Amino acid sequence: MTTATMTAERTPAKLVSPAKLVKDSFAMAWRGVLKIRKNPEQLSDVTLMPILFLVMFGYIFGGAVQGSTEEYLQVFVPGLVVMITIMASMSAGISLNTDVSKGVFDRFRAMPIARSAPLVGAVVADFVRYVVGIGVLLGFAAILGFRITTDPLSTLAAVAIAIAFGLAFCWIAMFIGILVKSPGALAGIMMAIVMPFTFGSNVFVPTETMPDWLAAWSEISPVSLLADVMRGLLVDGGDITGPLLGSLAWMGALLAVFFPLTIRTYLRRLG
């Protein structure tokens, strides 16, 4: 064999354009939505959890914290929107982990497509899960006596902001999903991440009742901030500028850190 024959064509190296990334991501999102449609049981977490949480916490804490269940629900449900969103976002990492370990992504990686599209697409498909989760939550809460006291536009804004947060927060789960090699350990790790965020927040109990150190965290926790935004948009109609800016800052920071980290790890994991 002569090395002289080994000359590549003088064409410039091809790159994948941003427009192609968007197109490929939507194609991959279609895959995700198809998979949800084929296995509706994948939605069991986002349908059962809201109901369980409403019943359990609504009745257990309702009396203790706020005097009556109805009053507690008005404060608790908006926060629960955030909590359900966060919990729903964890499954993205788990399905990513199985996809990668099964080698389904190998074919995508050997195709001339945007390399991050399989990940971005999976995240976009989870949109369905958030909508279902929040829908079930608000619907069942209404049956229990929760009332949205603002207008439909504010409600829509609340849902949109919550989903946007889910789409940003899920990159933590994606990162862990790609990092951890044993699927068995995943659920535990996800829980360990979700817990400090959700329980170290004002979703279940007011920050004033917490010890100082926890209150300090709760004040700046994205979950508390976002819960305040939800309360403003769904129930009291108050000024939400502060918590909204805080929430947006968190989303930006989460995306800026975990999105590139995940893509880098994904590209490197098998190579």
Partner 1 sequence: MNNEIAIEASGLKKRFGETQALRGVDLTVPTGTILGVLGPNGAGKTTAVRILATLLRPDAGRAVIAGRDLHTDPVGVRGKIGLTGQYASVDEDLTGSENLRLLARLLEFSRAGAKARAAELLERFELSHAGGRAVKTYSGGMRRRLDLAASLIGRPEVLYLDEPTTGLDPHARNEVWQIVRGLVNDGVTVLLTTQYLEEADQLADRITVIDTGKVVADGRPDELKRRTGGQTLQVRPSTRADLEAVSRILTELTQQVPDRDDDTGLLTVPVSDPVLLSTVVRKLDDAGITADELALRLPSLDDVFLALTGHRTSQENDQNRQEALV
Q: Which residues bind partner 1 (CB under 8 A)?
A: 1, 3, 5-11, 13-16, 23-24, 27-28, 30-31, 34-35, 38-39, 102-113, 117, 270-271
Nearer to partner 1 among residue 14 and residue 212 (C-beta):
14
Write the DSSP symbol of residue 10.
S
- Going from the C-alpha of 49 to that of each of 121, 163, 169, 256, the distances in angstroms are 25, 17, 18, 29
- CA-CA-CA-CA torsion for 200, 195, 128, 91, nearest 10 degrees? 160
CB of 167 to partner 1, least distance (A): 22
Closest separation in Å from C-beta 123 to partner 1: 17
Tokens 């990334």 locate to 21
Q: Which is nearer to partner 1, 15 or 153 (CB)?
A: 15
Minimum distance from CB of 14 to partner 1 (Å)? 4
Closer to partner 1 at the Cβ: 10 or 153? 10
* Cβ neighbours for 71, distance < 8 A, ≥ 6 positions apart: 62
CB of 52 to partner 1, least distance (A): 27
As measured in angstroms, the least distance from the Cβ of 44 to partner 1 is 16
Cβ proximity to partner 1: between 113 and 168 the closer is 113
Could you tell me the sign of the dihedral formed by the alpha carbons of 121, 106, 259, 38, in that order?
A: positive
Q: How many residues does the chain have?
A: 271
Cα–Cα distance for residue pair 234/102, rounded to 1 Å:
42
Rounded to a whole number of angstroms, the minimum distance from the CB of residue 11 to partner 1 is 7
Quote the DSSP letter at residue 200.
S
Both tokens assigned to 40:
């509706």
Nearer to partner 1, 177 or 246 (CB): 177
Q: Which is nearer to partner 1, 27 or 192 (CB)?
A: 27
